[in-house]
Amino acid sequence: MNDSFDFRVSTNKDVTAEEYAQIARSVGWGSEEDSKLFVVSNAAYPLVVHARETSGLLIGYLSAFSDGAFSTMLGVLIVHNQFQGHGVGRAMLEVVEKQWPGVPIYIKALGEAKHFFKACGYKVPLAEMTILFKRP
C-alpha cells in the first residue's frame, strides 16, 4: 500500500554500503564499522530484498536466509524513516513469505518494531523464546 509515492521492490544485491549507511543513519543506527561489514553481510545472505523510489533512492533493505523447511530468519529489515508507514516494509516481507511459503519466519524485533510485525500478522510465540549471542 504505497499511497503517497511509487517504489519498486527488487531481489538483486545492487545496494552499496553508502546507501545502506544512509538508511541506517535515518533511523539512528550504524557506525563506520557497520558500513564496512555491510558488504560482507549483503554478499552472504541468500535473499536480499530492497526497495527504491522511482528516482532510484534506496528506501528499504531486508536480508533473510532459510533452511526451506523449519525456519526462515530475517537478518535486517530497515526502512528509511521518511518512508515508513507506506507499505515499503510490508512489500519486502511479502517477497520473503513467497520465497519460502509455509516455512515459519523468525524475527528479532527490536524496540517498537514488534508493533509493525504484529500488524503484518506475526505473533509472539506461546513458549518463551530467548535470543542469546556470542561474539567470538
Neighbours of 19 (CB within 10 A): 19
pLDDT for 3: 53
Task: Calculate Rg over the CA atoms of the chain.
Answer: 15
Mean pLDDT of 74-102: 96
Mean pLDDT of 114-132: 90
67 Cα distance to chain centroid: 18
pLDDT for 81: 94
Is the residue at 1 inside a domain?
no
Q: How many domains, the chain?
A: 1
pLDDT for 57: 97
Reported as a single tens digit per residue, the pLDDT across 24-67 is: 999 988 777 777 899 999 999 999 999 999 999 999 999 999 99
Is the residue at 15 inside a domain?
yes
Domain span including residue 22: 7-119
pTM (2 d.p.): 0.90
Domain at 16, CATH number = 3.40.630.30
